[in-house]
Structure 1
Amino acid sequence: MINGGLNILSSAVEVSNMEAMVYRLKAKKAENDLARLQNEALERESKLVRDHATAIRRAERRDRREVSSVMSQRASEFEAELGNLSEAYSLVGDFRECCASVSTLWKTRLGKFNFKDEVATMEGGRKDYAHAEALVSPIEGRLQGFWDPIPVSPDTKEALTEVLGEDEEVNCPASAFEVSLSGNVSI
Protein backbone atom coordinates (compact mmCIF):
# COMPACT_ATOMS: atom_id res chain seq x y z
CA MET A 1 0.00 0.00 0.00
CA ILE A 2 2.78 2.33 0.72
CA ASN A 3 4.23 1.60 -2.69
CA GLY A 4 0.86 2.24 -4.29
CA GLY A 5 0.48 5.52 -2.44
CA LEU A 6 3.98 6.57 -3.46
CA ASN A 7 3.27 5.63 -7.07
CA ILE A 8 0.09 7.74 -7.05
CA LEU A 9 1.94 10.59 -5.39
CA SER A 10 4.85 10.41 -7.86
CA SER A 11 2.48 10.26 -10.83
CA ALA A 12 0.62 13.32 -9.46
CA VAL A 13 3.93 15.16 -9.12
CA GLU A 14 4.88 14.19 -12.69
CA VAL A 15 1.51 15.40 -14.00
CA SER A 16 1.84 18.70 -12.15
CA ASN A 17 5.42 19.08 -13.48
CA MET A 18 4.11 18.42 -17.00
CA GLU A 19 1.30 20.92 -16.52
CA ALA A 20 3.81 23.47 -15.19
CA MET A 21 6.00 22.95 -18.27
CA VAL A 22 2.98 23.32 -20.56
CA TYR A 23 1.97 26.56 -18.81
CA ARG A 24 5.56 27.84 -19.01
CA LEU A 25 5.63 27.08 -22.74
CA LYS A 26 2.27 28.80 -23.22
CA ALA A 27 3.52 31.82 -21.23
CA LYS A 28 6.73 31.93 -23.29
CA LYS A 29 4.70 31.73 -26.53
CA ALA A 30 2.39 34.51 -25.30
CA GLU A 31 5.43 36.69 -24.42
CA ASN A 32 6.91 36.07 -27.88
CA ASP A 33 3.58 36.89 -29.56
CA LEU A 34 3.28 40.06 -27.49
CA ALA A 35 6.84 41.10 -28.35
CA ARG A 36 6.16 40.43 -32.05
CA LEU A 37 2.94 42.49 -31.96
CA GLN A 38 4.73 45.34 -30.16
CA ASN A 39 7.51 45.29 -32.77
CA GLU A 40 4.94 45.33 -35.58
CA ALA A 41 3.14 48.24 -33.91
CA LEU A 42 6.43 50.15 -33.54
CA GLU A 43 7.29 49.46 -37.19
CA ARG A 44 3.85 50.67 -38.31
CA GLU A 45 4.20 53.76 -36.12
CA SER A 46 7.66 54.55 -37.48
CA LYS A 47 6.40 54.00 -41.04
CA LEU A 48 3.51 56.41 -40.36
CA VAL A 49 5.97 58.98 -38.98
CA ARG A 50 8.25 58.57 -42.02
CA ASP A 51 5.31 58.83 -44.42
CA HIS A 52 4.03 61.91 -42.58
CA ALA A 53 7.48 63.55 -42.69
CA THR A 54 7.80 62.72 -46.40
CA ALA A 55 4.39 64.21 -47.14
CA ILE A 56 5.31 67.37 -45.23
CA ARG A 57 8.63 67.70 -47.10
CA ARG A 58 6.88 67.24 -50.45
CA ALA A 59 4.28 69.87 -49.57
CA GLU A 60 7.02 72.28 -48.46
CA ARG A 61 8.96 71.71 -51.70
CA ARG A 62 5.81 72.22 -53.77
CA ASP A 63 5.03 75.41 -51.86
CA ARG A 64 8.60 76.66 -52.28
CA ARG A 65 8.34 76.06 -56.04
CA GLU A 66 5.00 77.91 -56.15
CA VAL A 67 6.40 80.81 -54.13
CA SER A 68 9.53 80.90 -56.30
CA SER A 69 7.52 81.03 -59.53
CA VAL A 70 5.21 83.72 -58.14
CA MET A 71 8.21 85.73 -56.93
CA SER A 72 9.98 85.52 -60.31
CA GLN A 73 6.77 86.53 -62.10
CA ARG A 74 6.29 89.44 -59.69
CA ALA A 75 9.93 90.47 -60.13
CA SER A 76 9.54 90.71 -63.90
CA GLU A 77 6.23 92.59 -63.55
CA PHE A 78 7.82 94.88 -60.96
CA GLU A 79 10.71 95.63 -63.30
CA ALA A 80 8.30 96.54 -66.12
CA GLU A 81 6.11 98.70 -63.85
CA LEU A 82 9.16 100.41 -62.38
CA GLY A 83 10.30 101.21 -65.92
CA ASN A 84 6.86 102.68 -66.66
CA LEU A 85 7.00 104.72 -63.46
CA SER A 86 10.47 106.06 -64.15
CA GLU A 87 9.39 106.95 -67.69
CA ALA A 88 6.33 108.79 -66.34
CA TYR A 89 8.47 110.66 -63.81
CA SER A 90 10.97 111.51 -66.52
CA LEU A 91 8.15 112.95 -68.66
CA VAL A 92 6.97 115.02 -65.69
CA GLY A 93 10.51 116.13 -64.97
CA ASP A 94 11.21 116.93 -68.63
CA PHE A 95 8.14 119.17 -68.80
CA ARG A 96 9.05 120.97 -65.57
CA GLU A 97 12.57 121.41 -66.77
CA CYS A 98 11.32 122.64 -70.13
CA CYS A 99 8.96 125.20 -68.58
CA ALA A 100 11.61 126.73 -66.39
CA SER A 101 14.41 126.28 -68.83
CA VAL A 102 17.00 128.91 -69.38
CA SER A 103 17.50 127.45 -72.83
CA THR A 104 14.15 128.89 -73.93
CA LEU A 105 15.42 132.33 -73.04
CA TRP A 106 18.62 131.58 -74.84
CA LYS A 107 16.70 130.56 -77.96
CA THR A 108 14.99 133.97 -78.05
CA ARG A 109 18.36 135.59 -78.62
CA LEU A 110 19.14 133.36 -81.59
CA GLY A 111 18.09 134.43 -85.00
CA LYS A 112 16.10 131.26 -85.79
CA PHE A 113 13.68 131.53 -82.85
CA ASN A 114 10.03 131.03 -83.82
CA PHE A 115 7.54 131.81 -81.07
CA LYS A 116 4.73 129.72 -82.59
CA ASP A 117 6.95 126.62 -82.78
CA GLU A 118 8.03 127.12 -79.16
CA VAL A 119 4.41 127.47 -77.98
CA ALA A 120 3.43 124.34 -79.92
CA THR A 121 6.33 122.46 -78.32
CA MET A 122 5.25 123.65 -74.87
CA GLU A 123 1.62 122.67 -75.54
CA GLY A 124 2.73 119.19 -76.55
CA GLY A 125 4.84 119.05 -73.39
CA ARG A 126 1.84 120.00 -71.25
CA LYS A 127 -0.18 117.19 -72.81
CA ASP A 128 2.65 114.76 -72.06
CA TYR A 129 2.84 116.18 -68.54
CA ALA A 130 -0.89 115.66 -67.92
CA HIS A 131 -0.67 112.17 -69.40
CA ALA A 132 2.40 111.36 -67.27
CA GLU A 133 0.77 112.63 -64.06
CA ALA A 134 -2.30 110.51 -64.84
CA LEU A 135 -0.02 107.46 -65.20
CA VAL A 136 1.93 107.89 -61.96
CA SER A 137 -0.85 107.04 -59.48
CA PRO A 138 -2.04 103.79 -61.13
CA ILE A 139 1.54 102.62 -61.61
CA GLU A 140 2.31 103.28 -57.95
CA GLY A 141 -0.84 101.33 -57.01
CA ARG A 142 0.26 98.36 -59.11
CA LEU A 143 3.72 98.51 -57.52
CA GLN A 144 2.10 98.37 -54.07
CA GLY A 145 0.23 95.25 -55.22
CA PHE A 146 3.55 93.38 -55.44
CA TRP A 147 3.70 93.38 -51.64
CA ASP A 148 0.49 91.32 -51.34
CA PRO A 149 0.91 87.91 -49.69
CA ILE A 150 1.66 84.96 -51.93
CA PRO A 151 -1.09 82.32 -52.00
CA VAL A 152 -0.03 78.71 -51.39
CA SER A 153 -1.70 75.36 -51.93
CA PRO A 154 -5.08 74.91 -50.26
CA ASP A 155 -3.93 71.60 -48.74
CA THR A 156 -1.29 73.43 -46.70
CA LYS A 157 -2.52 74.27 -43.22
CA GLU A 158 -1.38 77.25 -41.24
CA ALA A 159 0.27 76.35 -37.93
CA LEU A 160 -1.95 76.84 -34.92
CA THR A 161 -0.70 79.12 -32.15
CA GLU A 162 -3.12 78.13 -29.42
CA VAL A 163 -2.10 76.77 -26.02
CA LEU A 164 -1.73 73.01 -26.00
CA GLY A 165 -3.51 70.83 -23.46
CA GLU A 166 -2.18 67.69 -21.80
CA ASP A 167 -3.45 65.43 -24.56
CA GLU A 168 -1.98 67.50 -27.40
CA GLU A 169 1.56 67.49 -28.68
CA VAL A 170 3.79 69.44 -31.02
CA ASN A 171 5.63 67.59 -33.81
CA CYS A 172 4.55 64.19 -32.46
CA PRO A 173 1.95 62.67 -34.75
CA ALA A 174 -0.45 60.13 -33.30
CA SER A 175 -1.08 56.71 -34.79
CA ALA A 176 -4.41 55.34 -35.91
CA PHE A 177 -5.02 54.22 -32.32
CA GLU A 178 -4.35 57.76 -31.01
CA VAL A 179 -1.22 56.58 -29.19
CA SER A 180 1.63 59.02 -29.61
CA LEU A 181 5.36 58.47 -29.61
CA SER A 182 5.72 60.15 -26.23
CA GLY A 183 3.20 57.82 -24.63
CA ASN A 184 0.27 60.22 -24.23
CA VAL A 185 -3.03 58.56 -25.09
CA SER A 186 -5.94 60.53 -26.53
CA ILE A 187 -9.21 58.60 -26.53
Structure 2
Amino acid sequence: MKKIIIFLMILGYGLKSYSQEKVDNIFKILLILDNAITFKTKDSNENPDIQSLVMNIDLKVKEIENSLFKPIFFYNYKIYKFDVINDSIIVKNNLSTLSIFGECSEYIIILNKESQRYYRIKGFKQNDFSHLLNDIILHYDEKISEREVVKKLNLMEIKELDFNCMYQYLKDSPKNRWKYPCISICTDGKPSHLNK
Protein backbone atom coordinates (compact mmCIF):
# COMPACT_ATOMS: atom_id res chain seq x y z
CA MET A 1 0.00 0.00 0.00
CA LYS A 2 2.88 2.32 0.83
CA LYS A 3 4.32 1.82 -2.69
CA ILE A 4 0.95 2.71 -4.24
CA ILE A 5 0.68 5.94 -2.23
CA ILE A 6 4.24 7.00 -3.15
CA PHE A 7 3.59 6.13 -6.80
CA LEU A 8 0.36 8.19 -6.82
CA MET A 9 2.16 11.13 -5.18
CA ILE A 10 4.90 11.03 -7.84
CA LEU A 11 2.26 10.77 -10.55
CA GLY A 12 0.31 13.67 -9.05
CA TYR A 13 3.42 15.84 -8.96
CA GLY A 14 4.12 14.93 -12.58
CA LEU A 15 0.66 16.13 -13.57
CA LYS A 16 1.92 19.70 -13.34
CA SER A 17 3.37 19.10 -16.81
CA TYR A 18 -0.07 17.85 -17.90
CA SER A 19 0.04 15.43 -20.82
CA GLN A 20 -2.08 12.71 -22.35
CA GLU A 21 0.34 10.14 -20.93
CA LYS A 22 -0.29 11.43 -17.40
CA VAL A 23 -4.06 11.21 -17.89
CA ASP A 24 -3.69 7.68 -19.28
CA ASN A 25 -1.62 6.72 -16.21
CA ILE A 26 -4.25 8.08 -13.82
CA PHE A 27 -6.83 5.89 -15.54
CA LYS A 28 -4.55 2.83 -15.41
CA ILE A 29 -4.04 3.25 -11.67
CA LEU A 30 -7.71 3.92 -10.92
CA LEU A 31 -8.90 0.96 -13.04
CA ILE A 32 -6.36 -1.38 -11.41
CA LEU A 33 -7.23 -0.20 -7.87
CA ASP A 34 -10.94 -0.63 -8.67
CA ASN A 35 -10.24 -4.21 -9.87
CA ALA A 36 -11.84 -3.24 -13.17
CA ILE A 37 -8.93 -4.84 -15.00
CA THR A 38 -6.71 -7.67 -13.78
CA PHE A 39 -3.53 -9.24 -15.12
CA LYS A 40 -1.35 -12.30 -14.63
CA THR A 41 2.26 -12.71 -15.67
CA LYS A 42 3.20 -15.46 -18.14
CA ASP A 43 5.90 -16.79 -15.85
CA SER A 44 3.86 -17.21 -12.66
CA ASN A 45 0.41 -17.06 -11.16
CA GLU A 46 1.36 -14.01 -9.12
CA ASN A 47 -0.29 -10.69 -9.73
CA PRO A 48 2.22 -8.06 -10.86
CA ASP A 49 2.69 -4.95 -8.72
CA ILE A 50 0.90 -1.76 -9.71
CA GLN A 51 4.03 0.03 -10.91
CA SER A 52 4.94 -2.70 -13.41
CA LEU A 53 1.31 -2.84 -14.57
CA VAL A 54 1.25 0.87 -15.30
CA MET A 55 4.50 0.54 -17.26
CA ASN A 56 3.37 -2.54 -19.22
CA ILE A 57 -0.10 -1.65 -20.41
CA ASP A 58 -1.11 1.02 -22.89
CA LEU A 59 -4.52 2.54 -23.18
CA LYS A 60 -5.81 5.66 -24.80
CA VAL A 61 -8.15 7.84 -22.84
CA LYS A 62 -10.39 10.21 -24.78
CA GLU A 63 -11.23 13.76 -23.84
CA ILE A 64 -14.92 14.59 -23.91
CA GLU A 65 -15.25 17.99 -25.51
CA ASN A 66 -18.23 20.27 -25.52
CA SER A 67 -18.39 23.09 -28.01
CA LEU A 68 -21.85 24.35 -27.08
CA PHE A 69 -21.41 25.85 -23.64
CA LYS A 70 -18.90 25.83 -20.81
CA PRO A 71 -19.68 27.59 -17.53
CA ILE A 72 -17.03 30.09 -16.48
CA PHE A 73 -16.32 28.11 -13.30
CA PHE A 74 -15.55 25.02 -15.43
CA TYR A 75 -12.76 26.46 -17.64
CA ASN A 76 -10.04 24.80 -15.55
CA TYR A 77 -11.67 21.38 -15.87
CA LYS A 78 -11.38 18.67 -18.50
CA ILE A 79 -13.50 15.54 -18.81
CA TYR A 80 -11.91 12.22 -19.80
CA LYS A 81 -13.43 8.87 -20.63
CA PHE A 82 -12.21 5.32 -21.11
CA ASP A 83 -14.42 2.45 -22.26
CA VAL A 84 -12.90 -0.89 -21.21
CA ILE A 85 -14.87 -2.78 -23.87
CA ASN A 86 -14.68 -0.50 -26.91
CA ASP A 87 -11.31 1.22 -26.39
CA SER A 88 -8.15 -0.81 -26.80
CA ILE A 89 -5.83 -1.91 -24.03
CA ILE A 90 -2.43 -3.08 -25.25
CA VAL A 91 -0.58 -5.52 -22.99
CA LYS A 92 3.23 -5.52 -23.22
CA ASN A 93 6.12 -7.69 -22.01
CA ASN A 94 5.31 -10.68 -19.83
CA LEU A 95 1.66 -9.92 -19.09
CA SER A 96 -0.56 -12.56 -20.62
CA THR A 97 -4.15 -12.31 -19.46
CA LEU A 98 -6.36 -9.29 -19.25
CA SER A 99 -9.73 -9.67 -17.54
CA ILE A 100 -12.20 -6.82 -17.61
CA PHE A 101 -15.05 -7.15 -15.15
CA GLY A 102 -18.37 -5.45 -14.99
CA GLU A 103 -21.87 -4.78 -16.20
CA CYS A 104 -21.03 -1.37 -17.67
CA SER A 105 -17.80 -0.34 -19.31
CA GLU A 106 -17.56 3.45 -19.32
CA TYR A 107 -15.30 5.19 -16.79
CA ILE A 108 -15.18 8.98 -16.57
CA ILE A 109 -13.05 11.36 -14.54
CA ILE A 110 -12.93 15.14 -14.43
CA LEU A 111 -9.54 16.79 -13.95
CA ASN A 112 -8.90 20.25 -12.59
CA LYS A 113 -5.95 21.59 -14.60
CA GLU A 114 -5.09 24.17 -11.96
CA SER A 115 -5.18 22.11 -8.77
CA GLN A 116 -4.28 18.83 -10.56
CA ARG A 117 -7.09 17.12 -8.66
CA TYR A 118 -9.16 14.39 -10.30
CA TYR A 119 -12.76 13.40 -9.59
CA ARG A 120 -14.14 9.93 -10.34
CA ILE A 121 -17.52 10.65 -11.88
CA LYS A 122 -18.75 7.50 -13.59
CA GLY A 123 -18.13 3.75 -13.38
CA PHE A 124 -15.80 3.69 -10.38
CA LYS A 125 -16.52 2.21 -6.93
CA GLN A 126 -16.26 5.72 -5.49
CA ASN A 127 -17.97 8.76 -6.95
CA ASP A 128 -16.42 12.17 -6.27
CA PHE A 129 -19.25 14.34 -7.57
CA SER A 130 -19.88 15.88 -4.13
CA HIS A 131 -16.18 16.85 -3.91
CA LEU A 132 -16.35 18.39 -7.38
CA LEU A 133 -19.39 20.47 -6.37
CA ASN A 134 -17.71 21.61 -3.15
CA ASP A 135 -14.50 22.57 -4.94
CA ILE A 136 -16.34 24.54 -7.63
CA ILE A 137 -18.35 26.44 -4.99
CA LEU A 138 -15.26 27.02 -2.84
CA HIS A 139 -13.09 28.39 -5.68
CA TYR A 140 -15.67 30.28 -7.71
CA ASP A 141 -15.39 34.06 -7.32
CA GLU A 142 -19.11 34.61 -6.87
CA LYS A 143 -21.52 33.00 -4.46
CA ILE A 144 -23.21 30.06 -6.16
CA SER A 145 -25.41 27.23 -4.86
CA GLU A 146 -25.02 23.52 -5.58
CA ARG A 147 -28.25 23.58 -7.56
CA GLU A 148 -26.97 26.45 -9.74
CA VAL A 149 -23.71 24.60 -10.41
CA VAL A 150 -25.62 21.46 -11.43
CA LYS A 151 -27.95 23.46 -13.68
CA LYS A 152 -24.96 25.05 -15.47
CA LEU A 153 -23.13 21.73 -15.76
CA ASN A 154 -26.19 20.24 -17.45
CA LEU A 155 -26.17 23.08 -20.01
CA MET A 156 -22.98 21.52 -21.38
CA GLU A 157 -25.17 18.65 -22.66
CA ILE A 158 -22.58 15.91 -22.20
CA LYS A 159 -24.45 12.78 -23.24
CA GLU A 160 -22.31 10.49 -21.06
CA LEU A 161 -23.10 12.39 -17.86
CA ASP A 162 -26.35 13.17 -16.08
CA PHE A 163 -25.45 15.79 -13.47
CA ASN A 164 -29.08 16.10 -12.31
CA CYS A 165 -29.18 12.38 -11.56
CA MET A 166 -25.90 12.59 -9.59
CA TYR A 167 -27.21 15.56 -7.63
CA GLN A 168 -30.48 13.77 -6.83
CA TYR A 169 -28.45 10.80 -5.57
CA LEU A 170 -26.49 13.12 -3.24
CA LYS A 171 -29.73 14.51 -1.83
CA ASP A 172 -31.45 11.12 -1.49
CA SER A 173 -31.70 9.75 2.02
CA PRO A 174 -31.08 6.94 2.63
CA LYS A 175 -28.68 6.44 -0.28
CA ASN A 176 -30.01 3.92 -2.77
CA ARG A 177 -27.67 3.86 -5.74
CA TRP A 178 -29.76 1.22 -7.54
CA LYS A 179 -32.35 3.94 -8.26
CA TYR A 180 -29.72 6.05 -10.03
CA PRO A 181 -28.13 4.59 -13.18
CA CYS A 182 -25.68 7.53 -13.29
CA ILE A 183 -24.03 6.15 -10.13
CA SER A 184 -23.66 2.57 -11.38
CA ILE A 185 -20.41 0.81 -10.50
CA CYS A 186 -19.00 -1.03 -13.48
CA THR A 187 -17.36 -3.77 -11.42
CA ASP A 188 -20.73 -4.89 -10.04
CA GLY A 189 -21.86 -8.04 -11.78
CA LYS A 190 -20.10 -10.75 -13.71
CA PRO A 191 -17.10 -10.70 -16.06
CA SER A 192 -18.04 -9.15 -19.38
CA HIS A 193 -14.85 -9.42 -21.41
CA LEU A 194 -11.71 -11.56 -21.54
CA ASN A 195 -8.60 -11.34 -23.75
CA LYS A 196 -5.84 -13.92 -23.82
Give the structure with higher Rg (CA).
1
Which of the two has greater helix per residue? 1
TM-score, reference length from structure 1: 0.17
Give the structure-2-normalised TM-score. 0.16
